[in-house]
């Protein structure tokens, strides 16, 4: 591989993330991928329209995704620790079995042992 190809970067694209209910723009920025936009703005994604997004391996630790539309999103291997997913629409979202505990906590669900 020559140095010209090694140093090339992906072209930046302008991304907009909108509120799923009002259509108001929550985040607008140029980035190489949607994942980059999400990771840089994870504190401010409440009620975001992220239907079908690919978040495989994304750092969503502590993300505010409360009420977000994540239908069909690919969350496999995403770091969901301390993310707020309460009221999020997760219909047909994909996760790995190893993520179930973090997902349950992110949804605000308390699991108790029977006694």
Within-domain flag for 1: no
Within-domain flag for 3: no
Banded model confidence at residue 20, pLDDT cuts 50, 70, 90: very high
Within-domain flag for 113: no
Provide the number of structural domains found in the chain: 1
- CA 65 remoteness from chain centre: 7
**Whole-number pLDDT of residue 1:** 46
Joined together, the tokens standing for residue 89 give 């629409």
Within-domain flag for 91: yes
Domain that holds residue 31: 12-106
The mean of the pLDDT values for the chain is: 90
What is this structure's pTM? 0.81
Banded model confidence at residue 43, pLDDT cuts 50, 70, 90: confident
**Whole-number pLDDT of residue 111:** 86
Say how far apart CA 4 and CA 9 lie, in whole Å: 10
Within-domain flag for 80: yes
**Whole-number pLDDT of residue 9:** 67
Please write the tens of the pLDDT for every residue from 53-92: 999 999 999 999 999 999 999 999 999 999 999 999 999 9
Within-domain flag for 16: yes
Within-domain flag for 31: yes
Task: Decide if 56 contacts 79 (C-beta within 8 A).
Answer: no
Within-domain flag for 75: yes
Please write the tens of the pLDDT for every residue from 1-13: 444 555 566 789 9
**Whole-number pLDDT of residue 18:** 96
């Amino acid at each position: 591989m020559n140095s010209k190809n090694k140093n090339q970067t992906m072209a930046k694209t302008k991304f907009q993330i909108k509120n799923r209910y009002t259509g108001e723009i929550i985040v607008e920025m140029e980035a190489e991928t949607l994942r980059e936009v999400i990771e840089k703005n994870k504190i401010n994604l409440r009620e975001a329209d992220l239907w079908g997004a690919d978040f495989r391996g994304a750092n969503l630790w502590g993300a505010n995704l409360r009420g977000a539309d994540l239908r069909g999103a690919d969350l496999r291997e995403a770091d969901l620790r301390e993310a707020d997913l309460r009221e999020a629409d997760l219909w047909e979202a994909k996760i790995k079995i190893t993520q179930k505990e973090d997902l349950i906590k992110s949804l605000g669900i308390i699991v108790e042992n029977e006694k």
